[in-house]
């Protein structure tokens, strides 16, 4: 058989372009988010640094990265808590089917220094499933997750393979 | 060999071996790898890290462990920081960046402070942007403190990537072995 131009475009051009520009996004929130004491709080993200697969919306379910394309994804979440001397800090990521797929827990740094954290994992995701990011702190009162430069709070995903 | 933009095939055109070699062989080889990336580490047993002027200094990474895209050949201005502190993006795209360092046991913690960590910096035309940060408590006089930070960023050609120790003290020592003060950069996609 002789392949048609349409077949060549679909099976060579388009598939290779998919692998070259695999689905990925990085989103962040441009303002601090207050976290209540001893309460797991889902973060929201009102801005996008990049999103090449309609994985995030800044108008609905802004806390989600949705896997428009199924596959295995590298997921990373970073957040910086405001300086405070009391308690401990946790961050975590959930998958829509599985709660708690990655986390980090640390004591506070000091009363004078923020606590900057990140966590990452690799997870198999079906189309339309999604990931969310959470923060937890035990300062005894409300405490901000800072909006800092380009590192807090930031939520990222990159397709690594099917 | 760099990625070649995929061509759109047209009806009735004669496909040549050269076209197939470029469009299929070479681009598949590009994706298979080795993809653009590098890893470098510091080469001294310990180094004082100063912040007496209120700013931090990029950590030099004198030893290159791997470099598939000439990323450790720096061609843009890094003044006043030594070029060895950086990896330079030669192929645009989304990269996974990991940085780690280990601080020595603090011998005088009350004066050296607690604010220890590591930042991943994107430096574009002399402007630094923190794109990743880890700042956790140190181990005080009990033992060394390792900080590991990772991030995903969409870089442009000529962006620099560096590792910045973050301290609240006048100086501390930085433990250096090839796995304890290192910067690794790996291309994931365009």
Confirm or reject contact between A113 and chain B (CB < 8 A).
Answer: yes
Q: CB distance B190–A150 less than 8 Å? A: no
Average pLDDT over residues A41-67: 98
Confirm or reject contact between B129 and chain A (CB < 8 A).
Answer: yes
Q: Can you tell me the distance from the alpha carbon of A120 to that of A126, in angstroms, rounded to the nearest whole number?
A: 19
What would the CATH number be for the domain defined by B36-189? 2.60.120.40
3-state secondary structure at position B56: coil
Q: Can you tell me the distance from the alpha carbon of A108 to that of A114, in angstroms, rounded to the nearest whole number?
A: 8
Average pLDDT over residues A46-65: 98
pLDDT at B110: 46
Chain B residues whose beta carbon lies within 8 Å of the beta carbon of residue A76? 150-152
Looking at CA atoms only, how far is residue B166 from chain A in angstroms? 11
pLDDT at B138: 73
3-state secondary structure at position A2: coil
CA trace torsion B86, B87, B92, B97 (10° rounding): -100
Average pLDDT over residues A65-70: 98
Cβ contacts below 8 Å, chain A against chain B, sum to 130
Looking at CA atoms only, how far is residue A106 from chain B in angstroms? 7
Among A12, A20, A107, the residue with its CB nearest the CB of B3 is: A20
Long-range contacts of B155-159 (CB under 8 A, 24+ apart): B155/B89, B155/B92, B155/B93, B155/B94, B155/B95, B155/B122, B156/B89, B156/B92, B156/B124, B157/B89, B157/B90, B157/B91, B157/B92, B158/B75, B158/B76, B158/B88, B158/B89, B158/B124, B159/B88, B159/B89, B159/B122, B159/B123, B159/B124
Q: Which helix (H) or strand (E) holds A77?
A: strand A71-81
Burial of residue A52 (number of CB atoms within 10 Å: 0-12, 13-18, 19+):
middle
Q: Give A129-149 pLDDT, tens digit per residue.
A: 999 999 999 999 999 999 999
Looking at CA atoms only, how far is residue A149 from chain B in angstroms? 6
Is the separation of the CB atoms in A49 and A26 below 8 Å? Answer: yes
Tokens describing residue B118: 């590591």
Q: CB distance B151–A50 less than 8 Å? A: no
Domain spans of chain A, in order of start: 23-161
Instruction: Please report, for residues B24, B41, B66, B151, the alpha-carbon distance to residue A158 in angstroms, rounded to integers and kept in the order given.
Output: 24, 26, 23, 11
pLDDT at B136: 83
Q: Can you tell me the distance from the alpha carbon of B126 to that of B4, in angstroms, rounded to the nearest whole number?
A: 30
Confirm or reject contact between A76 and chain B (CB < 8 A).
Answer: yes
Average pLDDT, chain A: 96
Chain A residues whose beta carbon lies within 8 Å of the beta carbon of residue B117? 109, 116
Mutation site for B-interface testing, chosen from A25, A88, A110, A146 by largest number of B Cβ within 10 Å:
A110
Q: CB distance B31–A19 less than 8 Å? A: yes
Confirm or reject contact between A111 and chain B (CB < 8 A).
Answer: no
pLDDT at B142: 73
What does DSSP assign to residue A152? B
Chain B residues whose beta carbon lies within 8 Å of the beta carbon of residue A90? none
Confirm or reject contact between A74 and chain B (CB < 8 A).
Answer: yes
Q: Can you tell me the distance from the alpha carbon of A117 to that of B190, in angstroms, rounded to the nearest whole number?
A: 27
Confirm or reject contact between A59 and chain B (CB < 8 A).
Answer: no
Mutation site for A-interface testing, chosen from B3, B4, B9, B142 by largest number of A Cβ within 10 Å:
B9
Residues in contact with A111: Cβ distance below 8 Å, sequence separation at least 6, in sequence order: A83, A84, A85
Q: Which residue has the higher pLDDT, B130 or A111?
A: B130
Sign of CA dihedral A155, B93, B149, A149: negative
Confirm or reject contact between A155 and chain B (CB < 8 A).
Answer: no
Is the pLDDT at A111 greater than 60? The verdict is yes
Q: CB distance A13–B136 less than 8 Å? A: no
pLDDT at B49: 65
Provide the CATH topology of domain A23-161.
Jelly Rolls (2.60.120)
Q: For residues B50-82, b (16+ Cβ closer than 10 Å) or e, as one string?
A: ebeeeebbbbbbebeeebbbebbebebebeebe
pLDDT at A12: 97
Q: Which residue has the higher pLDDT, A118 or B115?
A: A118
pLDDT at B52: 47
Q: CB distance A158–B188 less than 8 Å? A: yes
pLDDT beneath 50: ranges in chain B? 52-53, 107-112
Domain spans of chain B, in order of start: 1-33, 36-189
Q: How many residues does chain B have?
A: 190
Query: Is ipTM > 0.85 here?
Result: yes
Confirm or reject contact between B139 and chain A (CB < 8 A).
Answer: no
Q: Can you tell me the distance from the alpha carbon of A33 to that of A145, in angstroms, rounded to the nearest whole number?
A: 5
Q: Tell me if the pTM is above 0.90.
A: yes
Confirm or reject contact between A115 and chain B (CB < 8 A).
Answer: yes
Encode B85-105 in three state secondary structure.
HEEECCCCEEEEEEEEEEECC
């Amino acid at each position: 058989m002789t392949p048609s131009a349409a077949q060549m475009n679909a099976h060579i051009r388009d598939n290779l372009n998919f692998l070259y520009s695999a689905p990925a996004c990085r989103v962040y929130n441009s303002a601090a988010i207050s976290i209540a004491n001893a309460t797991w709080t889902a973060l929201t993200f009102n801005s996008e640094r990049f999103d090449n697969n309609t994985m995030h919306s800044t108008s609905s379910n802004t806390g989600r990265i949705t896997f428009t394309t199924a596959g295995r994804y590298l997921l990373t979440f970073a957040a910086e808590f405001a300086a405070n001397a009391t308690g401990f800090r946790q961050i975590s990521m959930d998958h829509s089917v599985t709660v708690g797929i990655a986390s980090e827990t640390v004591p506070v740094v000091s009363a004078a220094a923020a606590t900057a954290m990140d966590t990452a994992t690799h997870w198999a995701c079906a189309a339309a499933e999604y990931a969310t990011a959470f923060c937890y702190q035990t300062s005894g009162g409300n405490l901000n997750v800072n909006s800092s430069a380009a590192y807090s709070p930031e939520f990222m995903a990159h397709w690594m393979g099917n | 060999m760099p990625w070649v933009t995929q061509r759109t095939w047209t009806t009735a055109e004669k496909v040549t071996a050269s076209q197939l070699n470029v469009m299929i062989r070479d681009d598949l080889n590009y994706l298979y790898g080795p993809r653009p990336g590098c890893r470098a580490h510091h080469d001294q047993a310990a180094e004082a890290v100063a912040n007496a002027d209120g700013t931090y200094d990029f950590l030099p990474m004198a030893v290159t462990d791997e470099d598939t895209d000439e990323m450790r050949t720096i061609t843009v201005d890094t003044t006043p920081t030594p070029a060895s502190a950086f990896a330079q993006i030669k192929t645009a795209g989304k990269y996974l960046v990991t940085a780690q360092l280990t601080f020595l046991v603090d011998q005088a913690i009350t004066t050296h402070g607690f604010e220890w960590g590591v930042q991943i910096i994107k430096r574009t035309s002399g402007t630094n942007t923190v794109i990743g940060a880890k700042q956790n408590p140190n181990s005080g006089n009990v033992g060394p403190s390792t900080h590991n930070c990772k991030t995903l960023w969409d870089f442009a050609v000529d962006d620099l990537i560096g590792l910045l120790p973050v301290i609240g003290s006048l100086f501390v020592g930085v433990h250096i072995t090839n796995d304890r003060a290192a910067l690794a950069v790996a291309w994931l996609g365009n």
